[in-house]
Amino acid sequence: MEFLQSYKTLFLDYLNDNKFGRPPHNLYIPVDYILTIGGKRIRPLLLLMAADLAGKKAETALPAAMSVEVFHNFTLLHDDIMDEAPLRRGKMTVHEKYGSNAAILSGDVMMLYAYKYLENYSSELAMKLYKIFNNMAIEVCDGQQMDIDFETREDVSIVEYLEMITLKTSVLIGASLQMGALIGGLDEQSANHLYHFGKNVGIAFQMQDDVLDTFGEPKVGKQPGGDIIQNKKTYLYLKTLELVSEEEKNELLQLYATKPKNPTQKVARVRDIMKSAHVLVHSNEVKSEYKNLAFSHLDAIKMEEEVKDKFRMFGDFLLNRNI
């Protein structure tokens, strides 16, 4: 989207000017590595956009944008260790490239720097930002533990799955918007509505991400059907269990109890079962429900309609992507 390009350029310039490359290098080189190997930069862009559209120059929100991006990448770094993932964004993961000990410690220092960037604001505003950030960070950890617990549970419900993705993914998107809105001078009630807009868009975004992981075109550097290979209990999997025959349900359960060295046949068969259940129709319905809920929160925000339309445009862009 063209109007986002200026925010992206602004943030990437700031990121480049604030590299961590200082001694001890074995601590900070992995930090620079994960921050510069790509990514959509959705969270910092949302934060900058919220501050700008709320009434302040986007530049004022750059330290907070850096905070959420550093925090987000910290969670990815540690997630990759837990998942024993070999690739991130088509590149070697930090623990594969530098070792697990280096990855753990580099992740720890990233978390601390995420807080440190918020010192750039007045004490009153910083306290508001810290409160939002702390609540969000705790919820992200809660969501990650739920995701880990689901791997060994056979009784995961769709309600539990939606709660997990809300905590693990969506609250950070919501918090980014809320923090940006407060930096931009928006009143707290409207900033809270913007949080709920972001949170619900985030749920729909994760639903779309699950669909792309399972049915999307293969990405360079990413193994197709990664959620199936890792036996992730996504909405697609859980809803398919509800919809298929008892025979196909048992087959799907058996497939998710295995991790073959060559998962090609497993991925193909799971996809076939999901397609036979027409699970994409149900997934799209749920995605639309959360999108509509998100947009309803925009209606309650004290902003000009043309400003709200930019948030709507972003939501549509995010949820209609095919990569």
Task: Check residue 218 and give its pLDDT.
Answer: 65
Position 322 pLDDT exceeds 70: no
The mean pLDDT of 34-54, rounded to a whole number, is 95
- The per-residue b/e assignment along 174-206, b for 16 or more CB within 10 angstroms, e otherwise, is bbbbbbbbbbbebeeebbbbbbbbbbbbbbbbb
172-185 pLDDT tens trace: 999 999 999 999 99
pLDDT tier at 97, thresholds 50, 70, 90: very high
The mean pLDDT of 244-261, rounded to a whole number, is 95
Position 220 pLDDT exceeds 50: no
Mean per-residue pLDDT of the chain: 94
Q: Name the nearest CA neighbour of 94 among 22, 23, 30, 20.
A: 30
Quote the CA–CA distance of 23 and 104 in Å, as a whole number. Answer: 17
- Both tokens of residue 236? 């697609």
* Domains, the chain: 2-319 (1.10.600.10)
The mean pLDDT of 201-219, rounded to a whole number, is 88
**CA distance between the termini of the chain:** 15
Element (H, E) at 275: helix 264-276
Quote the CA–CA distance of 120 and 178 in Å, as a whole number. Answer: 17
